[in-house]
């Protein structure tokens, strides 16, 4: 099955492993025993590594050691034009500041944070968490899944499929009482993620599949998101959607970048 359906196998593993870590926390938070036991906290490592672990297992099963090397090599490609480092770091901050401006301009209610941390502590926690988790997400979502989707579809269609499944992967977090994502409006969050996935695809294809740069972008979004508070989810949908539309008009749906889309091979 793995060799015949590598993409399906990847998603079954990525969902299964991550939800195995999240669901006990969801049940425990809702008072369903015995899932509120401290020793089950260790399962939370699974969601952080699930996309990469799923991709690794499929790559090993289908292509052996060569496939594993090909999977992780783009994450270590730090030699890229300095412009792309600037884009990966500055773009997330620019997007969030623009969304904050739209929030204020339109008088929209900003999203409240449920975190007990604030200020520098909140930002540092977000940075550390992102550095530990985001590289493994990108190995799975962009390093493995996106090239496979782009083998079959245009970059735009591949982005929408990937973004939709990426959003569904997070569903348990919306039922976890006490988790910040449980307070998010799922519809607006989902739309923002779809639009954001188009930006990820643009960056991935434009850098010839450089996962190091894409990971910096992901880390920047999460870290600056902790620093720039009070942004309306509607404003995020508008800003991400506008930028995605600009990229679509500028580069077209086939590749979504000045470079050809990256395909599995």
Q: Averaged in consecutive runs of 10 residues, what is the pLDDT profile of the chain (265 residues)?
A: 89 97 91 75 90 97 92 90 93 97 92 65 90 94 97 97 98 93 95 98 96 96 92 97 98 96 89
- What total of structural domains would you count in the chain? 1
Q: Which residues are within 8 A (CB) of 170 and not within 5 positions of it... i.e. 6 or more apart?
A: 181
Q: What pLDDT was estimated at residue 150?
A: 98
Query: How far are the Cα atoms of 160, 161, 199 from residue 193, in angstroms, in the given order?
Result: 9, 11, 10
Which strand (E) or helix (H) includes residue 60?
A: helix 45-72
Asked whether residue 52 is domain-assigned, the answer is no
Phi and psi at residue 222, to the nearest 5°: -70, -40
Asked whether residue 47 is domain-assigned, the answer is no
The span from the CA of 243 to the CA of 247, in Å, is: 6
Residue 14: how many other CB atoms lie within 10 Å: 27
Asked whether residue 55 is domain-assigned, the answer is no
Written as six digits, the tokens of 232 are 């309306």
Q: Which residues are within 8 A (CB) of 44 and not within 5 positions of it... i.e. 6 or more apart?
A: 21, 22, 25
Cβ(201)–Cβ(136) under 8 Å? Answer: no
Residue 197's domain comprises: 74-251
Asked whether residue 19 is domain-assigned, the answer is no
The span from the CA of 214 to the CA of 84, in Å, is: 9
SS3 call for 67: helix
How far is C-alpha 32 from the geometric centre of its chain's CA atoms?
Answer: 30
Of 79, 93, 84, 243, nearest to 159 by C-alpha is 243
To which residue do tokens 């990820």 refer? 200
Asked whether residue 168 is domain-assigned, the answer is yes
pLDDT in tens, 85-128: 999 999 999 999 999 999 999 998 887 665 555 678 889 999 99
SS3 call for 184: coil
Q: Sort 119 into a burial class: Cβ within 10 Å, 0-12 / 13-18 / 19+.
A: exposed
* Reported pTM: 0.93
Asked whether residue 179 is domain-assigned, the answer is yes
The span from the CA of 249 to the CA of 242, in Å, is: 11
The span from the CA of 19 to the CA of 170, in Å, is: 9
Asked whether residue 48 is domain-assigned, the answer is no
Asked whether residue 256 is domain-assigned, the answer is no
Written as six digits, the tokens of 156 are 């735009």
How many residues would you count in the chain? 265
């Amino acid at each position: 099955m793995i060799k015949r359906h590598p993409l399906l196998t990847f998603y079954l593993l990525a969902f299964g492993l991550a939800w195995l870590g999240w669901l006990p926390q969801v049940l425990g938070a809702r008072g369903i025993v015995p899932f509120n036991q401290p020793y089950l906290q260790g399962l939370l490592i699974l969601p952080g590594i699930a996309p990469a672990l799923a991709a690794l297992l499929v790559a090993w099963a289908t292509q052996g050691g060569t496939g594993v090397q090909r999977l992780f090599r783009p994450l270590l490609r730090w030699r890229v034009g300095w412009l792309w480092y600037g884009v990966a770091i500055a773009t997330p901050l620019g997007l969030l500041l623009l969304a904050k401006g739209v929030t204020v301009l339109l008088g929209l209610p900003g999203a409240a944070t449920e975190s007990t941390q604030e200020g520098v502590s909140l930002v540092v926690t977000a940075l550390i968490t992102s550095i530990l988790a985001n590289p493994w997400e990108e190995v799975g979502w962009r390093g493995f899944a996106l090239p496979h989707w782009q083998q079959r579809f245009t970059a735009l269609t591949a982005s929408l499929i990937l973004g939709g499944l990426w959003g569904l992967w997070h569903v348990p977090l919306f039922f976890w009482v006490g988790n910040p994502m449980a307070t998010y409006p799922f519809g607006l969050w989902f739309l923002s993620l779809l639009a954001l996935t188009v930006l990820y695809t643009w960056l991935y294809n434009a850098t010839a599949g450089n996962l190091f740069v894409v990971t910096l972008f992901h880390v920047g979004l999460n870290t600056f998101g902790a620093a720039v508070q009070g942004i309306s989810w509607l404003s995020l949908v508008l800003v991400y959607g506008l930028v995605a539309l600009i990229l679509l008009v500028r580069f077209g749906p086939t590749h979504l970048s000045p470079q050809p889309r990256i395909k599995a091979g």
